[in-house]
């Protein structure tokens, strides 16, 4: 008889990068191994489409109330599942009532997974009102009540170990067979430097603007931003591409150089280096900040570059702009790193072991 797994997620299936690249891409593998999978998102498809839009406070509020009701009803069917997997939180606002009920009332064990420093306040202006209801302190309790915890890096592990000793690091991974299965073209001209991310992280690029403007004086290149909203800043080489799930990989593969600047703070240390992993999977040489897990992913000058000052950013980018051969060499080493350590194949056994 097959075993059943319930995945409790904040967002609908296939919509959020943290879900897609933390566990959803293992669903086929789990099915092949005989597991039955059910997913239950806190937000409905309709509420998800509205939650990050400007305004619509009443619609958002009604959608959230509906989400709580659906979650509560679900609790009474928990007995049919062999495993319960909670990603980030069972409810996006309020206290950890559902986790408490699962562990203490229904007496069910659960696996808890997170990939950011979610105990720290981090929110968009569109949802500032909901931020007050977020209850960031609940993360400690959710960790404490969990049977197993999976995290994306050692920084997150150290935090979780304060409340539970059963913590496993499983990095965010790349599906090289079904998703990131193409590579960039280093023969395209002009050279295309690129960045991808949500509008909430566009501010990280601001420190690069003077560097880009200086490089523009000597070299011809394009700087492409892929995001859900256009940036509020501009410069001559800037090109904006609206993020589209259907063309995401093809759009990324048009980069010849990928950048990932970060500010060295607690929130950034909790990130799992996903931008760099995507670039490297497509053989795009990565130029990134030496913050947190980035230092474990990239070996300076071998499979990418770690830049900590404007002069380092300028020198690395200029060197890559001028040398196609170097871009190809670094890109190849980056792809090898993904294959060995950060691919679905490399981590599949670690993920399967959660359910034994």
Range of 132's domain? 4-170
Residues 94 and 208 in one domain: no
Give residues with Cβ within 8 angstroms of 126, minimum separation 6: 52, 53, 54
DSSP 118: T
Which uninterrupted H or E stretch holds 100? Answer: helix 97-100
Q: Report phi then psi at 226, rounded to 5.
A: -110, 120
Give yes or no for a contact between 173 and 180, defined as CB atoms under 8 angstroms apart.
no
Where does the pLDDT of residue 123 fall: very low under 50, low under 70, confident under 90, or very high at 90 and above?
A: low
Distances (CA, A) of 29 to 25, 34, 94, 216: 8, 9, 34, 47
DSSP 342: I
DSSP characters over 156-168: HHHHHTTT-S-EE
pLDDT of residue 47: 82
Residues 47 and 117 in one domain: yes
Residue 183 resides in a domain: no
Residues 218 and 336 in one domain: yes
pLDDT at 288 over 60: yes
Q: Number of structural domains, the chain?
A: 2
Residue count of the chain: 356
Residue 347 resides in a domain: no
Residues 143 and 237 in one domain: no
In degrees, rounded to 5, the angle at the alpha carbon of residue 21 between the alpha carbons of residues 16 and 26 is 120
What is the spatial distance between Cα 138 and Cα 121, in angstroms, rounded to a whole number?
Answer: 12
Range in 58-62, 164-168, 258-262 the model is least confident about:
58-62
Task: Identify the domain boundary among 139, 170, 201.
Answer: 170
Q: What is the CATH number of the domain that holds 297?
A: 3.40.50.2000
pLDDT above 90: percentage of residues in the chain? 81
pLDDT at 230 over 70: yes
Where does the pLDDT of residue 132 fall: very low under 50, low under 70, confident under 90, or very high at 90 and above?
A: low
Residues 158 and 16 in one domain: yes
Q: What's the CA dihedral at 125, 131, 132, 135 to 10 degrees?
A: -160
What is the spatial distance between Cα 10 and Cα 136, in angstroms, rounded to a whole number?
Answer: 15
pLDDT per residue as tens digits for the range 189-209? 999 999 999 888 899 999 999
Residues 70 and 212 in one domain: no
Residues 226 and 141 in one domain: no
At 317 the three-state DSSP class reads helix
């Amino acid at each position: 008889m097959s075993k059943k797994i319930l995945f409790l997620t904040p967002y609908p299936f296939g919509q959020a990068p943290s879900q897609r690249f933390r566990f959803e891409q293992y669903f086929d593998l789990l099915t092949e191994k005989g597991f039955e999978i059910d997913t239950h998102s806190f937000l409905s498809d309709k509420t998800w489409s509205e939650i990050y839009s400007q305004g619509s406070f009443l619609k958002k509020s009604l959608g959230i109330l509906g989400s709580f009701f659906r979650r509560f009803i679900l609790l009474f069917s928990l007995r049919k599942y062999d495993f319960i997997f909670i990603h980030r939180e069972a409810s996006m606002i309020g206290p950890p009532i559902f986790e408490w009920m699962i562990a203490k009332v229904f007496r069910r064990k659960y696996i808890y997974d997170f990939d950011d420093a979610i105990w720290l306040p981090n929110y968009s202006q569109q949802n500032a009102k909901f931020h007050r209801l977020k209850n960031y302190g609940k993360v400690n309790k959710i960790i404490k009540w969990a049977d197993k915890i999976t995290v994306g890096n050692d920084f997150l592990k150290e935090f979780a170990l304060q409340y539970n000793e059963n913590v496993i690091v499983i990095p965010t991974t790349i599906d090289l067979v079904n998703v990131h299965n193409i590579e960039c073209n280093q023969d395209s001209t002009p050279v295309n430097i690129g960045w991808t991310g949500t509008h909430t992280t566009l501010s990280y690029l601001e420190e690069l603007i003077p560097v880009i403007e200086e490089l523009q004086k000597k070299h011809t290149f394009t700087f492409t931003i892929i995001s859900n909203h256009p940036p509020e800043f501009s410069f001559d080489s800037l090109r904006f591409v609206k993020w589209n799930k259907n063309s995401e990989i093809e759009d990324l593969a048009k980069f010849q150089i990928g950048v990932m600047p970060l500010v060295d703070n607690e929130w950034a240390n909790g990130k799992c280096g996903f931008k760099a992993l995507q670039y490297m999977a497509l053989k795009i040489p990565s130029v990134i900040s030496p913050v947190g897990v980035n230092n474990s992913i990239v070996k300076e000058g071998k499979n990418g570059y770690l830049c900590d000052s404007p002069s380092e950013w300028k020198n690395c980018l200029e060197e890559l702009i001028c040398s196609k051969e170097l871009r190809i060499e670094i890109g190849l080493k980056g792809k090898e790193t993904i294959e060995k350590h950060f691919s679905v194949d490399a981590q599949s056994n670690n993920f399967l072991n959660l359910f034994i």
